[in-house]
Amino acid sequence: MKKSIFGTAAILALAATMMSASPKGDDAVMTKEDGMYVVNTTTLGKNITGYVDNTPVKVYIKKNKVVKVEALKNQETPKYFIKVKKQLIDKWNNLKVSDAQKLKVDAVTGATFSSDALVKNVQLALEYYQKHK
């Protein structure tokens, strides 16, 4: 009987430790890093696709201002996505989140699908931040 109680207690303790260590739903989407909120659209924007597949981003926000947007690994055609990153990725830097949400960004010629997906992911990240900050 004692072995059974100790065994059950050990299993419960292990389960509690694992549950507290695993990320909870929103933790994978918005984290804090160096005093900044970081919104990752990998799961949040999984249905936003460019020309080939989804184009997740990380948006770094500090004191309600966009610090930077980082494009994450994706399957877009590299030569076109490089153009998108060069022309669009800095558009939101140093803007208040409310202003960044209103920003109208034109697609890069020849990379419309990739551009649109990147913009939609940034908008989604900013919206998520506003609702969960």
* pLDDT per residue as tens digits for the range 90-108: 999 999 999 999 999 999 9
Q: Residue 114: is its pLDDT beyond 70?
A: yes
As a whole number of angstroms, the distance between CA 57 and CA 101 comes to 15
DSSP three-state, residue 92: coil
User: Which value, in Å, is the radius of gyration of the alpha carbons in the chain?
Assistant: 20
- Sign, CA dihedral 65-113-74-45, equals positive
- Sign, CA dihedral 41-43-46-47, equals negative
Q: Residue 77: is its pLDDT beyond 90?
A: yes
Question: What is the structure's pLDDT at 108?
Answer: 96
* pLDDT per residue as tens digits for the range 3-17: 555 444 445 444 444
